[in-house]
Structure 1
Amino acid sequence: MGLIRPALFVLSAPSGSGKTTLVKRALARLTFLTLSLSTTTRLPRTGETEGVDYHFCTKEQFLHSVAQGEFLEWAEVHGNFYGTSKKRIQEAQAKGMSVLLDIDVQGAMQLQGLHGFEAYYLFICPPGLEELKKRLHSRGTETPQSLTKRMTNAERELTFQDRYDHVILNDDLEEATLRFMSLLISHSVDLGRLKEVSTEEVIFSLTGNRQDPVVERLLTDLAIPGLGKKNDPH
């Protein structure tokens, strides 16, 4: 049995909070983690790729999947449908991976109401609404109407942050990234096995590399018991 104790993470944030950037940074470093891509009816944005950013489909295809019970949760957001595939989560868990679910507040509240569904709920919070508005405007993809709609939704979504296990303030990208990865690691490591292995082996289980100063620092800051103990050669 490995050091990773597969966990489910539900991640939500108002649009423009930097959630996508944090997720990409974590996935690039932590090999025990995988992202369960949402299925959506919205059109791909510039640079987005099918099977990499989302699974794109028509409204008719989406509603057919709803009727077949294929989604763990689904919701309509900004006029488009988004859903989380049960099958893709099961496939990732079967491989021993921790799974990150990028889900809006509506979907997260649905999951909290599901009997027997266990997950850690993480919320990414922007520094403030004015900063959020600047970030959305700087994208260059919003019309005045869509910007107003996103800001209205953001104000509503922020009222739900107390329903999450952890809130990460993204006012400094580097610090927010470290906080995010620290939470992912702390909830995915089998603490009972750490006394049996070296720090190098722990880092390898988390990153696929024997050395990673950033992850080693996070492990030290977490003060995980038993960390650093070497294997007994006998």
Structure 2
Amino acid sequence: MSHPHRLVVLAGPTAVGKGTIAAYIREHFPEVWLSVSATTRRPRPGECDGVHYHFVDEAEFERMREAGELLEWAVVHGRASYGTPRRPVEEALSQGRMALLEIDLQGARQVREAMPEALFVFLAPPSWDELVRRLVGRGTEDEEEREARLATARRELEAAAEFDVTIVNDEVRHAAEQLVSLMRSH
């Protein structure tokens, strides 16, 4: 009987690098199971259905939500819906796997309601200026969306106190290794 792990929830402000950390862990730590969110937004270049996200239409997302199949869900930046399918998370944990959920703040708060025993990790930027640089440097958003994201990020940074642990994303490999080490010890 393998020792059951706690679900680890990684959240933080927009553009802090949650996706980059998750991708690094996916590549370098195959023993960690990463939850794949469902979303109604369109795929970005290079994103694969079932790997990065389950891309679904509004009707399917609504069906999943109403059927109670989502551990958490939210409308992000006033646009697309995102949610975490519940069953795969429960299956990974029941198999004794280290399970990681990389989501936004609204989602983390819902998971705390649904699974308060999870370990909540806040990914913080090295500084506000660096967060702005990453947000603007990504170049995937227009000016209006960038301003909305910056306003959201300011509020999101204040939520660090709600989390069990904070990891500063100063360097991807370092932050990812800290996170995996934390997962192994819980």
Normalized against structure 1, the TM-score is what?
0.74
Q: Give CA-to-partner distance per residue, 1:147-204, whole Å, 9 cap, x none.
A: 11111111111111111111011123343233222212211xxxxxxxxxxxxxxxxx
Runs of 4+ in 1 over 4 A off after TM superposition: none
Alignment of 1:11-160 (within 5 A): 11-78=10-77, 79-114=79-114, 117-160=116-159
CA RMSD of aligned residues (A): 1.6
Q: Residue 10 of structure 1 contacts residue 101 of structure 1 at CA under 8 Å; is this kept in 2? A: yes
Please give the alpha-carbon distance, in whole angstroms, between the structure 2 residues aligned to 1:84 and 1:178: 24
The code of the aligned residue for 1:40 comes to T
Q: Residue 4 of structure 2 contacts residue 94 of structure 2 at CA under 8 Å; is this kept in 1? A: no
Q: After superposing the two structures, state which structure 1 stretch, 25-34 or 144-153, moved more.
A: 25-34
The 3 A distance-change label for structure 1 pair 174 and 98 is closer
Q: Residue 10 of structure 1 contacts residue 108 of structure 1 at CA under 8 Å; is this kept in 2? A: yes
The 3 A distance-change label for structure 1 pair 154 and 185 is same
Q: Give CA-to-partner distance per residue, 1:63-109, whole Å, 9 cap, x none.
A: 11111111111111111111111111122223321211112111111
Give 5+ residue unaligned stretches, structure 2. Answer: none
Count of residues in Structure 1 that have an aligned counterpart in Structure 2: 185
Please give the alpha-carbon distance, in whole angstroms, between the structure 1 residues aligned to 2:97 and 2:176: 20
Q: Give CA-to-partner distance per residue, 1:115-168, whole Å, 9 cap, x none.
A: x64100011101222211211222121100111111111111111111111101
Greater length-normalized contact order (CA 8 Å, ≥ 6 residues apart): 2
Q: Residue 98 of structure 2 contacts residue 184 of structure 2 at CA under 8 Å; is this kept in 1? A: no
The code of the aligned residue for 1:148 comes to E
Secondary structure of residue in 1 paired with 2:137: helix
Which of the two has greater strand per residue? 2
Please give the alpha-carbon distance, in whole angstroms, between the structure 1 residues aligned to 2:17 and 2:86: 26
Give 5+ residue unaligned stretches, structure 1. Answer: 188-234
Alignment correspondent of 1:164: 163
Please give the alpha-carbon distance, in whole angstroms, between the structure 2 residues aligned to 1:10 and 1:178: 15
Identical columns (%): 39
